[in-house]
Structure 1
Amino acid sequence: MTIRVIDVTLRDGGYVNDHGFTPQQAAALVAGLAASGLDYVEIGYYRPHDEALYDGRPAACCPAWYVDQMRRVSDRTGLTVMAHVHQVMLDDYARLADQGVRLVRMPATPARLDAALTHAERIRSLGMEAAINLIRASEQPLDLAPDVARRARDAGASWFYIADSNGGLYPHEVSRRISDIVAATGPAGPGIGFHAHDGLRLGFANTLAAIEAGAVIVDGSLGGMGKGGGNCQTEALAVHLHRGQGRAFAHERLARLISEHLLDWVDRRAFALYENCLAASMNLNLDDLRALREDAARDGRAFLDVLAGRLAGLMQPAEAGALARGAA
């Protein structure tokens, strides 16, 4: 089963820097994420009637020129936006379809569910994918999400998410919720997704629990940059899916995106933590790492590049070739 990943750095990361990414930073992130093997990149919130409020912060509102610029650098990666239904009219979605946006995600509470379902039908009619994201999952009764998921299925939604907005769920709670949703919607239902927050430092563990319970699409952000305690780290998901499922990701490129564009807003050890994540995925001990560092120094190569190359070497030749092409 292929697990899809949406990178939400430009959207959820905006809670950290007040959506202060420059167009140049945004374009570099989208291009790099696309070249690294990400399935979708969420470029911001869609607020077509509030652009004047967010002048100079395009990721907060996704004006037409910004979407065009991101589309030009996104290659085959699915361009994604998030839209609050009370900020968007049904006719506003046509512009996104014309600009090549693939997926529109809508946060939903019980009070706004009917409107979100109507918007999902409109989005699907324009040829885009639509996702209903049931937010604040830790506050909701257990029987709510399966019922909402069935309604999302009947409205033709492409994806149905639960979002641990408060970062308060434990893995067994995530597993229970996702399992119940999968059972309720059946094989013909929407793909089930999970959006983690790292309030309890369980974002990655909760995301793995969701995948094991049947989620087929999950979110991450570079360096975990996001609201509150942050998000599940995109790089941790990339390493896990690379090692566990043979998905080819360009780790060198992902690491450079963090070090070149995000160190003002994420843990400054994020690059070193990425190295450690790669090493841990291959069960390397201190003696192994010392030898690899010596090899890297002798060959004039970055240590992370050596680790990424070693991981690629554990894959089948065709998969390793795909990774090398992505890093070129």
Structure 2
Amino acid sequence: MGKKIKIFDLTLRDGSHAKSHQYTPEQMATLAGQIDKIGVEAIEFGHGNGLGGSSLQYGFAAASDRDYIEAVSPVIKNSNMSIIILPGVGTRHELNLAKEFGAKYARICTQISEVDIGEQHIKMAKKLGLIPISVLPCASVIPVEETVRYAQMAESYGAEVVYLLDGGGYQLPEQTFERISAMKKAIDVPVGFHGHNNLQLAVANSKAAVEAGAEYIDCCLKGFGAGAGNCPTEIFVAVLGRMGIESGVNLYQTMDIGDQYLRPLMPRAMEIDSDRIMLGYAGCYSSFLLFAQRAGEKYQVDPRDIIKEIGKRECTEGQENICIEVAYDLAKEKLAKQTSI
């Protein structure tokens, strides 16, 4: 196809969800130093909910943002450093911290219909000399033409790349192709895609995005990320090779680093069990999984029912604490049915 795909490796950020945000700075530094060798465009790291995310609501990380950045930034020499911020969670202080330690990319993630709340963050990132990227989740719940309109808004604020994020692993490849194609026709800046694997479609969706014109793709070693994980870096690099598309990523090194350095730190392999299938089926954001499982255990209700209801409510990242409310309501309904018999 005559183009090069830029891969962002999110093993140390989306993968943080799968470790309940308990990477140590030393573990992050070791992994980042290895990932830096494989040829990815950028390495993103930190709390799963981005800089500023360590909290009672989202889960406390094993260390502070500054601890992580101080540990990781010196070992990134060939790749570029990327951070992500959710407006309202991360602020100008986090952007300044990223700039202080040499980040190149600042990714601003807002629910797609609330892209305007990221305007100040995008503009400040640009003012600081960072490359602002707008990341837009939950596009699957709105029409394609609205997806395009919000992408145009992000571009107008100064975003230099606009990402479509399928946080629940809900989209089918043809839907991804349609939305990315429409975005490419409507905006002048490059387009990216971030997929999840809850229906085992992360690779297929990422491939469809590339075929539709996307130039940036998010991946994780061994797919290590929220829910059933993300598009596996090593598999997608192999797929790009089969397609005759350059990524600049060394396939053998990618596989070896995943096996030797990441696998011993993974709590489990990224299997697709019933709860994770429900995330994709219901269109529920992958970061809700552990919250739904904990709430289900506490209130003795099926986590799949919690996930299904979250999908109906079209909740997005940052609203994970609603799992408690949903579990409580389901438990009340269950008790009412039992007592009426």
Normalised to the residue count of structure 1, the TM-score between the two structures is 0.74
- In the other structure, the counterpart of 2:131 is 129
Task: Check 1:172–1:40 CA distance in 2 against 1; reply closer, same or farther (3 A cut).
Answer: same
Q: Greater CA deviation, 176-185 or 239-248? A: 239-248
- 1:51 positional shift: 7.0
- 1:15 positional shift: 1.6
Paired with 1:126 and 1:138, the residues of 2 have a C-alpha distance of 32
Task: Check 1:78–1:51 CA distance in 2 against 1; reply closer, same or farther (3 A cut).
Answer: farther
CA contact (8 A) 1:242 1:249 kept: no
Q: Greater CA deviation, 137-146 or 250-259? A: 250-259
Q: For 1:298-309, list aligned pairs within 5 A.
A: none
Task: Check 1:223–1:50 CA distance in 2 against 1; reply closer, same or farther (3 A cut).
Answer: closer
- In the other structure, the counterpart of 1:222 is 221
Instruction: Deviation per CA, 1:24-70: give whole Å up to 9, x if none.
Output: 22112211111011111111244348579966623xx5x22321221
Aligned pair count? Answer: 263
Instruction: Deviation per CA, 1:282-325: give whole Å up to 9, x if none.
Output: xxxxxxxxxxxxxxxxxxxxxxxxxxxxxxxxxxxxxxxxxxxx
Q: For 1:55-66, list aligned pairs within 5 A.
A: 57-58=62-63, 63-66=65-68
CA contact (8 A) 2:54 2:61 kept: no
- 1:207 positional shift: 0.3
Paired with 2:109 and 2:12, the residues of 1 have a C-alpha distance of 16
- In the other structure, the counterpart of 1:192 is 191
Q: For 1:70-149, list aligned pairs within 5 A.
A: 70-110=72-112, 112-149=114-151
What are structure 2's unaligned runs of at least 5 residues?
272-341
Q: What is the SS of the residue equivalent to 2:214?
A: coil
Task: Check 1:133–1:69 CA distance in 2 against 1; reply closer, same or farther (3 A cut).
Answer: same
Q: What is the SS of the residue equivalent to 1:9?
A: strand
Residue identity opposite 2:14 in structure 1: D
Q: Structure 1 residue 26 and structure 2 residue 28: aligned?
A: yes
Q: What is the SS of the residue equivalent to 2:88?
A: helix
Task: Check 1:268–1:237 CA distance in 2 against 1; reply closer, same or farther (3 A cut).
Answer: closer
Q: For 1:282-321, list aligned pairs within 5 A.
A: none
- 1:14 positional shift: 1.5
- In the other structure, the counterpart of 2:207 is 208
Q: What is the SS of the residue equivalent to 1:239?
A: helix
Task: Check 1:74–1:204 CA distance in 2 against 1; reply closer, same or farther (3 A cut).
Answer: same
- In the other structure, the counterpart of 2:319 is none
What's the % identity of the aligned pairs? Answer: 26
CA contact (8 A) 1:25 1:261 kept: no
Paired with 1:268 and 1:49, the residues of 2 have a C-alpha distance of 23
CA contact (8 A) 2:7 2:247 kept: no
Instruction: Deviation per CA, 1:205-250: give whole Å up to 9, x if none.
Output: 1101000101000011111111112111011122233452344433
Paired with 1:51 and 1:199, the residues of 2 have a C-alpha distance of 26
Paired with 2:53 and 2:219, the residues of 1 have a C-alpha distance of 28
- 1:5 positional shift: 0.4
Aligned with residue 178 of structure 2, among 176, 179, 182: 176
Task: Check 1:56–1:232 CA distance in 2 against 1; reply closer, same or farther (3 A cut).
Answer: closer
Residue identity opposite 2:194 in structure 1: H
Q: For 1:249-264, list aligned pairs within 5 A.
A: 249-263=249-263, 264=266
- 1:110 positional shift: 4.4
- In the other structure, the counterpart of 2:238 is 239
- 1:111 positional shift: 5.3
Q: What is the SS of the residue equivalent to 1:18?
A: coil
- 1:87 positional shift: 1.5
Q: What is the SS of the residue equivalent to 1:143?
A: helix
Residue identity opposite 2:126 in structure 1: R
CA contact (8 A) 1:223 1:266 kept: no
Q: For 1:5-24, list aligned pairs within 5 A.
A: 5-24=7-26
Root-mean-square deviation (Å): 2.3
